[in-house]
Amino acid sequence: MQKLIAGLHQFQKNVFASQKELFERLAKKQEPETLFITCSDSRFSPNLITQTAPGELFILRNAGNIVPPYGTSTGGEAATIEFAVLGLGVKDVIVCAHSQCGAMKALLQAPNEEMPAVSAWLRYAETTRRIIKDNYRHLEGEAMLTATVEENVLSQLENLRTHPSVASRIARGELFLHGWVYKIETGEVFSFDPEVGQFVPLEANLKGIAPPARTVHAR
Ligand SMILES: [Zn+2]
């Protein structure tokens, strides 16, 4: 805790003072263009890996970067997504998973009776578990975990589309979804490319994964 207090003092003295204009502007309003949905894991920071400043990313973090389908949960996820899309008008939504995800490791194991809340939460990733169990039997260890992390990004993007605000903006061509995996070991980011059906290094793939299936013209 002492480290955090010292950090706060350092921030106020050095960082806040040197970026006063930015923080004064942010005191009036926020205009982030991206909703960044990711895992709570402490080993990476959305702002650090994307080199963004306060005000640029609206961030939703939880165990396993999970998005409960619309209407199935009274948790804060639906409200956060709805506000980002309708209230802030974000243009992109990124679901960003990461290597070595503890939630995905837990998903591959039997439910832990000592952590009933975790087991209940992971039911929102049941599609991922089922896809892995039925289709990736040939994999094990690290390869199985990587496949789980990647499949879960795709499952959660599908869940995201069940949210009316998201579906409507996608239909208008005003919102794009992206699936990323951050590799803790190397700092690289891989992005899902729907044309090749795989996660590829991000530099090669800046396309959103949800071009509108049908176009609704904005009035
Ligand atoms: Zn994780």
Amino acid 75: pLDDT: 83
Distance 103 CA to ligand 1 centre (A): 5
Distance 124 CA to ligand 1 centre (A): 14
Distance 96 CA to ligand 1 centre (A): 10
Q: In degrees rounded to 5, what are phi and psi of residue 15?
A: -75, -50
Strand order from edge to edge, sheet including 198-201: 57-62, 34-39, 92-98, 176-182, 189-193, 198-201
Distance 54 CA to ligand 1 centre (A): 23
Distance 179 CA to ligand 1 centre (A): 15
Reported as a single tens digit per residue, the pLDDT across 177-187 is: 999 999 999 99
Q: Which residues pair with 180 in a beta bridge?
A: 96, 191
Distance 120 CA to ligand 1 centre (A): 16
Distance 133 CA to ligand 1 centre (A): 19
Q: The tokens 């992971």 sit on which residue? A: 122
Q: The tokens 């994999």 sit on which residue? A: 139
What is the rounded distance in angstroms from the CA atom of residue 9 to the CA atom of residue 16? 10
Distance 63 CA to ligand 1 centre (A): 6
Distance 156 CA to ligand 1 centre (A): 14
Tokens for 150? Answer: 């990647």
Is the pLDDT score of 202 beyond 90? no
Amino acid 205: pLDDT: 61
Distance 66 CA to ligand 1 centre (A): 10
Predicted structure pTM score: 0.92
Least confident of 42-46, 60-64, 195-199, 213-217: 213-217
What is the rounded distance in angstroms from the CA atom of residue 69 to the CA atom of residue 77? 10
- Contact present, 139 and 54 (Cβ < 8 Å): no
Which residues hold their Cβ within 5 A of ligand 1, which is an ion? Answer: 39, 41, 101, 103
What is the rounded distance in angstroms from the CA atom of residue 18 to the CA atom of residue 25? 14
> Three-state DSSP class for 174?
coil
Is the pLDDT score of 107 beyond 80? yes
Distance 62 CA to ligand 1 centre (A): 8
Q: Which band of pLDDT confidence, cut at 50, 70 and 90, is reported for residue 206?
A: low
Reported as a single tens digit per residue, the pLDDT across 136-167 is: 999 999 999 999 999 999 999 999 999 999 99
What is the rounded distance in angstroms from the CA atom of residue 161 to the CA atom of residue 210? 9
What is the rounded distance in angstroms from the CA atom of residue 69 to the CA atom of residue 49? 28
